[in-house]
Structure 1
Amino acid sequence: MKIDLTGRTALVTGSSQGIGLSIATELFRAGATVVLSGRSQESLNAAANVIAGDAAADPPRTVAADLSTRDGIAELVAATADVDILVNNLGIYESKDALDITDDDWREYLDVNLLSAVRLTRALLPAMMRRRWGRILYLASDAAIAVPEDMLHYGVSKTALVAAARGYAKVAAGSGVTVNSVIAGPTKTDGAVRFLAEKYGADTPWEEAQARFMSTERSASLIKRLIDPTEIANMIVYLSSHQASATTGGALRVDGGYVDSIFP
């Protein structure tokens, strides 16, 4: 299968590092014009340089804005035109006792993890529907299904994303626009590498630390390793393509079999 996104413009939020950076990289390699979004212009510039490398294509564009606010969303929308592919990757997470999660914590998680995606969808979906083509993707998490008690606010925000994707897919019905969520499992990000180094000691070889972590704290995984961000990006690229035109309203798992269910 050859996926060619030449002529398509893709906006990826939270794309200066981690999974978002991998998604932006793979969309760029598939030929899309990519727009990176994050809070730090310096980090975005560095990410754009990494993605472009020695490629002959124009490097990704960058827009620095705080997407937890209406003003930040407006800045981003004003700076982008004719977005064909919207990847709502932006998200925050932390571990916190469920009974210690404050109203302010809940508002922050809903503003960043849910409302940033909803506001961008609301702003960009109508034009996609008029053009009769578009792709909107929400990056969810295994925590959306197996909600962890020590990350309750995070899990609830991701559950809401899955529901929003299904609802907006109905809004876009028959328009040529598809809307899906992608449920990511435990992933090897820079943060995960640092976490395991702190947990098991910086001198512990990576493979040993990963094996210990997966056997004790993520034992439900069927691949018995952390997912590479590119593996999640591959699913995003496929769902962004013409080939995925009949897949909409879905919650597609790239979780290494972590969630013990045959359904999302």
Structure 2
Amino acid sequence: MKIDLNGRLAIVTGSTAGIGRATAEGLGRAGASVIINGRTATRVDEAVRQMRATFPSIDISGIAADLSTADGATAFVAAAPDADILVNNVGTAFIRDYKGIADIAAIPDEDWLGLFQLNVMSGVRLSRHYLPRMVDKGWGRVVFVSSESGVNTPKEMLDYGMTKTAQLAVSRGLAEAVAGTGVTVNAVLPGPTRSEILGDYMAKQAEANGITVEEAEQGFLQALRPTSLIQRFATTDEVANMIVYTCSEQASATSGAALRVDGGVVRFVA
């Protein structure tokens, strides 16, 4: 299968590192022009510099904007008013040591609301700008990067899981709204992945316990994701491969789906 995205303009939010960066690179290698995004100009500029050096044939640019705010989203779409592909990847999580219900009761309102603003509303704000333009053109791809935590809510990251479930509802609802237009909307559900956030957490756990990162990852899987079938963390490229395919012409019959790259963590077939 050869994915050809020449002539397409793709936006990938939260893409200076991790899954977002791997996705931006994958879309660029498939021929798309790519706009990456991060909160600060320093990180965006450095990521653009590195990606241009590594992949000189990729047409890549960057926009710094805090998409957890309405003002940040407004500034972003003013700088990039049109797109053929939108990957709503930006997001974060608070990884906590869960010892009991008191830990959930202690999660403050600002954590719940902050995660919702970044993980959910960033995608809502950008989708409501770009989707009508895609519909007018008769072609477009919107992908929400959710998580297996959206269907397998983790007690140690309950507020994060809530946002990932919300993304699935938004994704499916938008897909219903644009039915028959040539525009598709889907969600991709990674499992444990060597991304920036979880990778840094594993490195700290390894250092604190005097073990290797690989041993820390195995401990995480055994304690919190024992149903993993691949019994390892996925790479960011493995997740990006699914996202890039979902953005392609070849995926034109896939819409309203929740596509899992979870390593088999979720124990149901559908």
With the length of structure 2 as denominator, give the TM-score of the two structures. 0.92
**Residue of structure 1 equivalent to 2:99:** none
Match of 1:209 among 182, 206, 216: 216
Partners in 2 of 1:92 and 1:210 — Cα distance? 19
SS of residue paired to 2:146 = strand
Note closer, same or farther for the CA distance 1:20–1:56 as it changes in structure 2 (3 Å cut). Answer: closer
What is the CA distance between 1:56 and its match in structure 2? 4.2
Note closer, same or farther for the CA distance 1:252–1:205 as it changes in structure 2 (3 Å cut). Answer: same
What is the CA distance between 1:109 and its match in structure 2? 1.4
**Residue of structure 1 equivalent to 2:92:** 92
Residues 140-175 of structure 1: CA distance to partner in whole angstroms, max 9, x if unpaired? Answer: 011101111221111111101001000000111111
Percent identical pairs in the alignment equals 45
Note closer, same or farther for the CA distance 1:26–1:66 as it changes in structure 2 (3 Å cut). Answer: same
Report matched runs for 1:48-67 at 5 Å: 48-57=48-57, 59-67=59-67
**Residue of structure 1 equivalent to 2:121:** 115
Report matched runs for 1:54-203 at 5 Å: 54-57=54-57, 59-96=59-96, 97-201=103-207
Note closer, same or farther for the CA distance 1:58–1:235 as it changes in structure 2 (3 Å cut). Answer: closer
Partners in 2 of 1:208 and 1:107 — Cα distance? 34
Note closer, same or farther for the CA distance 1:213–1:157 as it changes in structure 2 (3 Å cut). Answer: closer
SS of residue paired to 1:5 = coil
SS of residue paired to 1:187 = coil
Partners in 2 of 1:102 and 1:176 — Cα distance? 42
Q: Which amino acid aligns with 2:221?
A: M
Partners in 2 of 1:74 and 1:37 — Cα distance? 14
What is the CA distance between 1:112 and its match in structure 2? 0.7
Note closer, same or farther for the CA distance 1:37–1:197 as it changes in structure 2 (3 Å cut). Answer: closer
SS of residue paired to 1:53 = helix
Partners in 2 of 1:194 and 1:112 — Cα distance? 20
Partners in 2 of 1:230 and 1:67 — Cα distance? 24
Q: Is the 8 A contact 1:28 1:51 kept in 2?
A: no
Residues 203-230 of structure 1: CA distance to partner in whole angstroms, max 9, x if unpaired? Answer: 5334333333323332210000000000
Q: Is the 8 A contact 2:206 2:215 kept in 1?
A: no
Partners in 2 of 1:118 and 1:82 — Cα distance? 16
**Residue of structure 1 equivalent to 2:100:** none
Residues 110-156 of structure 1: CA distance to partner in whole angstroms, max 9, x if unpaired? Answer: 11111110111101100000000000000001110111122111111
Match of 1:236 among 230, 243, 254: 243
Stretches of structure 2 that go unaligned for 5 or more consecutive residues are: 97-102
Residues 81-119 of structure 1: CA distance to partner in whole angstroms, max 9, x if unpaired? Answer: 320000000111003522112222222111111111011
What is the CA distance between 1:176 and its match in structure 2? 0.2
Q: Which amino acid aligns with 2:14?
A: G
What is the root-mean-square deviation in Å for CA atoms of aligned residues?
1.6
With the length of structure 1 as denominator, give the TM-score of the two structures. 0.94
Q: Is the 8 A contact 2:134 2:140 kept in 1?
A: yes
Q: Is the 8 A contact 1:35 1:60 kept in 2?
A: yes
Residues 9-68 of structure 1: CA distance to partner in whole angstroms, max 9, x if unpaired? Answer: 000000111111111111111111000111111111111122222544354111111111
**Residue of structure 2 equivalent to 1:220:** 227
Note closer, same or farther for the CA distance 1:116–1:58 as it changes in structure 2 (3 Å cut). Answer: same
Q: Is the 8 A contact 1:65 1:72 kept in 2?
A: yes
How many residues are aligned here?
263
Q: Which amino acid aligns with 1:104?
A: E
Partners in 2 of 1:255 and 1:95 — Cα distance? 18
